[in-house]
Chain A
Amino acid sequence: MSNMKKEPEKQRSSKGRRLSKEKHSSENRSLSKENRSTENRDLSKDRRAIIKLAVTLFLITSITAVMLAGVNALTKEPIANLKIETRNKALLAVMPNSTVLEDKTFTTETLTIFTLERPNGSYGYCVEVAPYGFGGPINMIVGIEVVMNEGRYEKRVVGVAITSMQETAGLGTKANDESFLSQYNGLFYPVQNEDGTLNISPSAITIGRGDVDVDAITGATVTSLAVNRGVNTALDAITVNAEGQVTFDGSVDGTSGATTSNSEDNSTSMYLSFSSMDDIWEVA
């Protein structure tokens, strides 16, 4: 410790000497060889000082990195567990008392569809999407069931839950309020038109104010629109044919809501995860 205390003093004094010498040498730059050799010595001293600085900074950075690695190792597991726990909690909040059928989970790069067995024996689908909000992706889960209504199938929103977001605290975070999210419950999208043909237009739950399906949050329009886009995307990701058979559409982009690639590619990606025909089930 005593060595360390002396160091800055030494440095300072040598610096002072160097400064005066530099002044001196610049004045008589071309005069004598002696001066030039002291300049060289100064340069090597400078170099040593710079290396010392670099080494010190490197040491500080490495110690910090090691410390962070320790904290990371300590918290990695709880964080990962918490993420799964939040996800499962959100799945069950959307569809209470259901069991997640892990082997029937369908994943693309931008969305995940969980299949749940509901208490009455029917299947429910929870689509995990991440539309881009005001401050980054809003991770949300949209619960959808397929039901028969007046002879026609429809995709109906059972519930919406937000698992994580980076929206403005106090404004955008209101998207997580029950009063906003519950507006989606029961909204539906008919699978068939009235004449029996398949309804292929994309889902369009409207949001805003006035004559719309969902009232937007005041002061958080971007967030509200993002959540709405997420719900519409989720509805589109689940395709139902006229017989009520459910397939998952991998072409839907869960981050933006736009359909990315052509449908042929997606059907293959779809069947990759559902190898046998038994895996495409009828809605009870």
Chain B
Amino acid sequence: MNLTLSEFFAVGAVIFAIFMSGTIQLRTNLLLYAIQTLLVGVVTAAFYLASNESQYLWLALVVILVKAAGISLFLAWVLRRINVFRDGATYLPIPIAMHVCILMLGIAHFLADRLPAPPDQSLHLQAGSAESGIALVLIGTLFMLTRKTAVSQIIGFLTMENGIYLFTLAQAHGMPMAVELGILLDVLVGVMVAGVITFRIQKSFEHIDVTQLRDLRD
């Protein structure tokens, strides 16, 4: 099986996401998320080399600067301020979580196989792969479901978003630039808002285990 360069990076992003679910150290989670996003940015750049359309280069730059660097640094700053560095307990033991993630990669492969072939065949091997995108969405969802702290929830959401981005790049060669930038802006503001709420949760409850927020019920 021949792996193109961009597929290689896309699968790399998934592997780092699997590593990410293998630790409960929040700062390591963040670092691995940053590497994963960096690789997603590299896929975009590789796609620029293949298609030679400058908008992909700009997009790659924005992804790396805003998502890989900016958001990770912001969340690292949040962690330092609230002085929480570990996800106390997860619903799935770590080794099992990693195995389930590998299973997710298999499921993603199965799902991607059932999808119709991408419309534009000429460049699609240069644009990452749909199964990496789906795998990232599944791993992100699993991360959100099994982790307990507010920051892990944010990281899981961001991983999902990376997956959707990669899937779009592989199957549709990205959305129109204005839409991509708008989505990125929403994600950025969303992370800021979630970060501020995380501060407040730590201040009011003296922990950031969001599964313990369950006063409101019928």
Chain A partners chain B? no
Q: Which residues of B contact A (CB under 8 A)?
A: none
